[in-house]
Structure 1
Amino acid sequence: MPHPTHRRWIGALLLAGTAAACTPGDASPRPAAAPATPTPSMDAPSTPAPSSSTAVTVGPAPASPGTGSCPVTRPAESPSEPPPALREWLRSEGADSQGWFGGGDLWALPATARHGYPDGRGKWSLKIPWWRGHDEPLRIRAVSLKTGKTVDGHAPRGYAAPGFQAGGVDLPHLGCWRITGELGPTRVRFVVDVVPAETTPN
């Protein structure tokens, strides 16, 4: 069973995405506080990494920086359906598989990974929900498609697998970024146009 705070964390991300999408264009946005990352559940067993895995690469090929408009990845571009274990976990959370993007044992929810939260140090914190099919370290990297700047992300250890995995990256600026997650030989890439997270006007 997923840790109880996972549902609240994902719910906060979804709510933030909905609020930003529904905010009128002439409203004065105010930066929102980033939702707290849940503490990993240590009492649930994890599925160890398989002794051999087939390499899976999903998502757009790397593009040269400054090539024009931001080619945001759409979930419909995923070449495969989420695996049964992910769909079962989503059902336990009262959610469906709409919006998930990935392949093999690694999936992400790009729609909630487009809101940057100011960290007070001049950077923007991007929260990215992931799902891992087996227990192996998740590596995250972001590349700006405007400047070419590369930033390594973070994925705290201790989350049971198969299951939810928190992750994120602290970006030096907003705009168009290609996010890459790697779990063993599996690589998932997607492009997001990061904008400031907004609160609902009073």
Structure 2
Amino acid sequence: MKHVLLCLAIAALAGCDSAAPVAQPAPSPTRSAIAPPSMSPIDGLSGCPVTQPVPAGPEVPAGALFGQSSAFGNADLWVGALGPAGVFTLEPDPLHGMGTKLGWYRIATGKLQIVGRRLDGPAPALISHVPDGYGETGFQSSGVNFPSEGCWEVTGTVGSARLTFITLVKRP
């Protein structure tokens, strides 16, 4: 666990400051041995069908993913630390929007790309930061900046593998 936290800290210092919007990738088929996400509207969340986090599956070694107990994934890709009930409560930053760090675990081989769009109203696209230096598989740190509050669909892609989750982003 200390190693994972150290990796996140190093990534934050080394690679997360060179942000550039990531182009929307072409749709890719999803290979998954796991059931579709558990998504349901939660009272008070503006009808946003938030993806409910679950503990990471057997594809993810114990301690290999920050936020492993509140994760979401499939046979190829997992994301951790989705927040309580899949909701991010974030302080806004006038320069960068509402940002958070996400840890990913890649079973599929390749470079992680992250895109996102707001589902419940107009907003610029999510801006993602995926630093180099994590190899082709295993743990990958990232940063995401949501330009506004709202219901957001976030998709991580590694090669032909794809993972999509829905989260509500709100202020404290």
TM-score range normalised by the length of the shorter chain: 0.5 to 0.7
Q: Find the partner of 2:135 among 160, 183, 187.
A: 160
What are the Cα deviations for residues 91-131 of structure 1, in whole angstroms up to 9, with x where unaligned?
x68x8843221112210022277243433416111322111
| Alignment CA distance shift 1:126-1:96 (3 Å) | closer
Higher relative contact order (CA 8 A, sep 6+): 1
Structure 1: runs of 5 or more not aligned: 13-35, 41-53, 62-67, 198-202
DSSP-derived class of the 2:143 partner:
strand
Aligned residue for 1:186? 161
> Are residue 111 (structure 1) and residue 75 (structure 2) matched?
no
- d(CA) in 2 for partners of 1:180, 1:168: 13
Contact 1:138 1:155 in 2 (8 A): yes
How far is 1:60 from its partner? 7.9
DSSP-derived class of the 1:118 partner:
coil
Aligned residue for 1:136? 110
Normalised by the length of structure 2, the TM-score is 0.65
What are the Cα deviations for residues 23-76 of structure 1, in whole angstroms up to 9, with x where unaligned?
xxxxxxxxxxxxx82648xxxxxxxxxxxxx84265489xxxxxx611111124
- Name the Cα RMSD after superposition: 3.7
Contact 1:143 1:177 in 2 (8 A): yes
- d(CA) in 2 for partners of 1:7, 1:171: 23
Contact 2:152 2:167 in 1 (8 A): yes
Letter in 1 for 2:138: G
DSSP-derived class of the 1:160 partner:
coil
Aligned residue for 2:53? 75
- Which structure 2 residues correspond to residues 85-104 of structure 1 after superposition, within 5 A? 86-88=60-62, 90=63, 97-104=68-75
Number of corresponding residues:
146
Contact 1:135 1:160 in 2 (8 A): no
Letter in 2 for 1:75: P
Kindly, what percent of the aligned residue pairs are identical? 28
Normalised by the length of structure 1, the TM-score is 0.57
Contact 1:60 1:190 in 2 (8 A): no
Aligned residue for 2:26? none
Structure label with greater radius of gyration: 1
| Alignment CA distance shift 1:39-1:122 (3 Å) | closer
